Chains A and B, each alone.
Chain A
Amino acid sequence: MSLLKLEQVTKRFGGLTAVSDFNLDLQEGELVGLIGPNGAGKTTVFNLITNTYYLSEGKILFEGKDITGLKTDRIAAAGIVRTFQNIRLFGELTVLENVLTACHLRLRSSVFSAVFGFPEYKREELAMHEKARSLLKTLGLEKYERDQAGSLPYGLQRKLEIARALATQPKVLLLDEPAAGMNPEETLALGALILKIRKEFQLTILLIEHDMSLVMTICERIIVLDHGVTIAEGLPEEIQNNPDVITAYLGTGDLYA
């Protein structure tokens, strides 16, 4: 079943077309890679899906419903959540609080029942703590629960971003360069982790990544963007041998022509 569908999505910044005529049909349970050289418009696609940027043209459908123009927080509530390429944790809050904050959107109790500690709120708060702790455990962060998020090492901050995103109970997870700054071993472990959380939380994942070894091993399907245009789409092997993709990444050989 088609879960997330982007139809002819275009984003223009003044005269620059950052993403042009982009189509995506994400099936439930899929793991799709979105690759391309720097400045290709990959992150812009994420920003358009979560409505951080308004799209200039096109339509976005989620579970068959049109979500174009829906507010960012509503999109998160609907079940699409992202991580950030340039880590955006709540640095002064603790690791646990970061995850708890992401649980907030499912809270039903009112402000007053929260302030005066009514039983319905206390129950929810307890459930949120349990959920947050189990998420931290899944990602191997339970030891750092009380640490300030901003004080964690880089790799763990990336993991915390994933934990925080999972706390919103998403159906679609958009990962923006989760392996950036990781060494080969860490990247390998991250790949296993992504596959694990996909299974455990029944996720559909769209992954932006520059690390080709990671993309080629875990993605079932790959879309290649260059200058905002989709230049190739297909299975990892097909992409690896696609001449357009090689040109986009490496340029052509006629340097002295």
Chain B
Amino acid sequence: MDRKLKLVITIIGLLVFILLLWLAENYIDAFIKRILNVAAIYVILGVSLNLINGFTGQFSLGHAGFMALGAYASALLYMSPSLKAMNFFIQPIIWPLSEIEIPFFFALLIGGTVAAIAGFAVGAPCLRVGGDYLAIVTYGFAEIIRVILNNLQSITNGPLGLKGLPTYTNLYWSWGWALFTVFFIKKLVDSSYGRALKSIREDEVAAEAMGVNLFKHKTLAFVIGAFFAGIGGGLLGSLLMTIDPNSFNIALTFQIVMIVLLGGLGSITGSVVMGISVAFLMELLRFVESPMTIFGFTIPGIPGMRMLIFALILVITVIFFRRGLFGHKEFSWTWIFRSKGRNANESA
């Protein structure tokens, strides 16, 4: 297929997508809209974690930590001074933060940047460890962030968290960022830098011997991954209208790891599809947590049963689709039209 045609299809696709977003934003009920917002945020988180775990092969469990930093940094910047005064009733917030209020977009960018700096701080020492050890170090980092946020009373309001955040997140913001994340990371992994990242995943020793600067490229993956995780965290905070340190725990990281594993390590398409699917499944599977009667036995509602279903899905995926649903494959127009053409030929 020639490139101009693909470009035209992409542009038409984007326009249709924007139209759908507009329709959804204006006519869909609030519940579905919320799931769609969550779906977009999962896409951002899944794709950004995939850059670190799937493409660079550095198994990180620090995503919740990066999200927490992004969520807090941005919320503290876009909250109004009066709202902050209301929230910080135990100990007043320290000076410059108490006065600052900046637009949502810039607050998000700064939140992402704070997370990116943390990503550098984690990525840099991680040059020395790999595999399981890296997972433990990054998990430890996420826990440290959580503990720090719990204890910085005059900056983060400690375990009370921040409540009544203004809801800026809408479908345009969330899906706009999701599209940008997919675009950025797709272009990155297809570029020369992306090949260097993949070579680190394939064989670190050979990559270094061929002149790939391990330090630079590993931290690059961490910084970019953390930036988008921070953005995702910021969007999530404004969507949920409340953040507290303990909501950014390991369970959240595992949810994102699950999205990446189910979709396929090293497949952006996989992370997008699974990010959306998991967001919907989380709501659809709510019924398993309510009391029910099976064959005369009454099971009381157990909160957390949903995760059991996800665990089951994960086990099945690992057994039957060892590399996730998409493996390393990616969506492309050529792929769509080729499979269509093949189907047409078969039916003819």
Contact = CB atoms under 8 A, between A and B. Distances in A.
Contacts of A103: 192
Contact of B212 (A82, A104, A114): A104
Contact of A52 (B192, B195, B205): B205
Nearest to A111: B193
Given A88-B203, A115-B184, A81 B195 contact: no
B135 interface: no
A89 B206 contact: yes
Given A77-B211, A114-B193, A101 B188 contact: no
A104 to B, nearest CB: 5
A250 interface: no
A20 interface: no
Interface in B200-220: 201-203, 205-214, 220
Query: Most A CB atoms within 10 A — which of B191, B205, B209, B212?
Result: B209
A102 B191 contact: no
B206 to A, nearest CB: 4
B210 A93 contact: no
A73 B208 CA distance: 5
A101 B195 contact: yes
B206 A100 contact: no
Interface string A137-156: 00000000000000000000
Contacts of B191: 111, 114-115, 121, 125
Query: Most A CB atoms within 10 A — which of B203, B206, B208?
Result: B206
A50 B209 contact: yes
A109 B191 CA distance: 11
Interface majority SS (helix, strand, loop, mixed), chain B: helix
B212 A73 contact: yes
B220 A168 contact: no
A16 interface: no
A73 B213 contact: yes
Contacts of B208: 71-73, 76
B209 A101 contact: no
B199 interface: yes
B189 to A, nearest CB: 10
B203 A128 contact: no
A81 B210 contact: yes
Nearest to B189: A115
Contact of A91 (B192, B202, B209, B210): B202
Given A104-B196, A115-B188, A93 B202 contact: yes
B193 A90 contact: no
A105 B208 CA distance: 10
Nearest to A164: B210
Contacts of A93: 195, 198-199, 202
A117 interface: yes
A97 interface: yes
Contacts of B201: 92
A90 B205 CA distance: 11
Given A76-B211, A101-B212, A90 B188 contact: no
B163 interface: no
Contacts of B329: none
Contacts of A90: 198-199, 202-203, 206-207
A93 B191 CA distance: 13
Contacts of B198: 90, 92-93, 97, 101
B192 A116 contact: no
B192 A104 contact: yes
B187 interface: yes
A84 B209 CA distance: 10
Contact of B211 (A91, A105, A116): A105
Nearest to A149: B202
A149 to B, nearest CB: 9
A105 B209 CA distance: 11
B328 interface: yes
Interface in A162-190: 164-165, 167-168
Contacts of B193: 104, 111, 114
Contacts of A91: 202-203
B199 A76 contact: no
B195 A104 contact: yes
Interface string A107-119: 1010100111100
A89 B191 CA distance: 19
A101 B199 contact: yes
A164 B192 CA distance: 15
Given A114-B191, A125-B192, A73 B211 contact: yes
7 contacts: A76-B210, A90-B202, A93-B199, A104-B211, A116-B187, A121-B191, A124-B192
Given A116-B187, A125-B192, 20 more contacts: A52-B209, A73-B214, A76-B208, A88-B209, A89-B202, A89-B203, A90-B198, A90-B203, A91-B203, A101-B207, A104-B210, A105-B213, A111-B188, A111-B220, A114-B188, A114-B192, A114-B193, A115-B187, A115-B188, A164-B210
